[in-house]
Amino acid sequence: MPEIIHEFEIGVAPERLREELFRADRLGNYFHTVQETEGNADRASWKLKAPFRATLGAGSLECQVLERSGLRCAWKASAPYLTWEGKLELNPTGQNTLVRFHLQIVDTGPLAAVHNAMIAVQIKNVAKLFERSLREKMEGKA
């Protein structure tokens, strides 16, 4: 099952990141595969961009925040045969925040072996693009 733990430091207070990332309706906007989100802080639908709909075999992922505790959050976004599970941990480091991002993406459909092999190759890129998108919005730079 493809997974990654990606850590990076960002020049934003943890409280500000928490307000943005610990919401199902905002979190999806930081993934390059997501076109738009609709919902609320606890549940949201993440509509996928056209190229990824065919590749991932789903039009959208239904996201639910499973846990929010202080500066930690766990969430799950799923569609038939596809599950994304993530955890975010925010650690203050002076004026910055160390973000620990754990992501697991699993395909359980008829093409799972092929899809999971592709996901395993791409998951590092997914995490790096998440970081870049977060930096662009929160710091104004990539």
Q: Tens-of-pLDDT digits for all 142 residues of the chain?
A: 899 999 999 999 999 999 999 999 999 999 999 999 999 999 999 999 988 887 777 889 999 999 999 999 999 999 999 999 999 999 999 899 999 999 999 999 888 999 899 999 999 999 999 999 999 999 986 5
- The answer to whether residue 47 sits within a structural domain is no
Specify if 93 maps to a domain. Answer: yes
Q: Are strands 82-93 and 43-48 parallel, antiparallel or unpaired?
A: unpaired
Q: How far apart are CA 118 and CA 2, in angstroms?
A: 9
Total domains in the chain come to 1
Q: Is residue 120 part of a domain?
A: yes
User: What is the CATH classification number for the domain harbouring 19?
Assistant: 3.30.310
Residue 54 CA: distances (Å) to CA of 10, 60, 125, 139:
33, 11, 19, 33
Residue 113 lies in a domain: yes
Q: By residue range, what is the domain housing residue 12?
A: 3-23+65-138
